[in-house]
Amino acid sequence: MQIHSIFGTIMKRLLISLFCILMCLSAAARNRALLIGIGEYPESSGWEKISAANDMRILSSTLTGYDITVLQDEKATYAGIKNAFGQFTAKCTPGDTVIVHFSCHGQQMVQEKENIQEEQDRLDEALVPFDAQRKLSSSYKGENHLRDDEFGLMIDRLRERVSNKGLVIVLLDACHSDTAFRSAEDEEKHIIIRGARDIFGADDDSKYDPLKYKKPLVNIQESDYLSDVLYISACKAYQVNRETIQNGIGYGSLTYSFCQVYTEKCLQDLSALVTIVKKDMGRIVPAQNVGISANFELQAEPKQTATSVKKEESALDRMLNRFK
């Protein structure tokens, strides 16, 4: 009886220890990614189809070791995105490194009246879910567009969840303002443009000048309780975002460049990550300027001289080698 009692006590302690280990492992900081891609917009929406499915594939294969959630096409409605974001945020833990990625259209919108003084250009930027219409109509008033202010609050809740020990990286392979016309070269090469030239809700687009106010990508909330956050956008809010064609396959330009340069080591030097993404984007879509916003200081790129330009390619190779 005594032997059985001792054996039972040992087993009980082992089970308790195992339970504690499993709990610790489940609560340990992890790498997580929420990938949202919308390419097969309904024809009735007025939006052109884009290569978001290719973006989802290349990202999923690049982010090895990540706990990945993918939301795509008809599942990525306005309500679907908000619901998925809430569920994703709930499963994150303090100290997590999180990548949130959008491949979709974007559009500028006339500000809602209650916020009319908020933006100098009187325009909001918005991401375009699957069920958002391109044009204002009697049956659609923009309620399914994901405006920048609402999206910023969603990111802030995620930053609070992963705490000041974590990191959130937001990749926006969209375009909020196609203020440039599609060029003859774009037409000839069948280049897909992400975004819309028309401003949602504007009776006269000429009243608004997106080029006049070159505002930051997003207004970032500052708090000691929130994680660091880095936003990378494929272009400035007043520019056009062109897809890139590689080996006959279309990709979002930011998605493709990020996947070319990303390794887990690059998270240790975000300034270098931003620099090499900019360099690679400059190679494949030279007319675009990558949009960068962060709540922390990124190391400035050195000014180029005639000599440094000649060395740029080898310098980029050295930076890439640091991450291998």
Q: What is the mean pLDDT of each run of 10 residues along the chain (324 residues)?
A: 58 57 55 98 95 97 96 98 98 98 92 56 84 94 93 95 97 67 45 76 58 58 92 84 93 95 86 93 91 88 49 53 57
d(CA 323, CA 304): 23
pLDDT score for 6: 61
pLDDT score for 216: 55
Task: List alpha helices for the chain, DSSP H.
Answer: 2-27, 52-62, 78-91, 148-162, 184-189, 253-261, 270-284, 306-322
pLDDT score for 311: 46
Question: Kind and range of the H or E element at 229?
Answer: strand 228-233
Give the pair of three-digit tokens for residue 306.
């005639």
Task: Report phi then psi at 20, rounded to 5.
Answer: -65, -40
Question: How far is residue 259 CA from its own chain's centroid?
Answer: 13
d(CA 197, CA 239): 10
- pTM (two decimals): 0.81
Give the pair of three-digit tokens for residue 316.
């980029």
d(CA 270, CA 202): 38
d(CA 318, CA 126): 37
Task: Report phi then psi at 53, rounded to 5.
Answer: -60, -40
pLDDT score for 90: 98
pLDDT score for 27: 53
User: What letter would DSSP give residue 266?
Assistant: G
pLDDT score for 201: 77
Give the sheet arrangement for strand 249-252, strand by strand: 193-194, 241-246, 249-252
Burial 138-148 (b: 16+ CB within 10 A, else e): eebebebbbbb
pLDDT score for 302: 55
pLDDT score for 24: 45
Q: For residue 265, how many other CB atoms are within 10 A of its CB?
A: 12
pLDDT digits (tens, 9 = 90+) for 111-137: 876 554 554 456 788 999 999 999 999
d(CA 50, CA 106): 12
pLDDT score for 145: 96
Task: Report phi then psi at 264, rounded to 5.
Answer: -60, -30
**Do residues 78 and 140 touch, judged by C-beta distance below 8 A?**
no
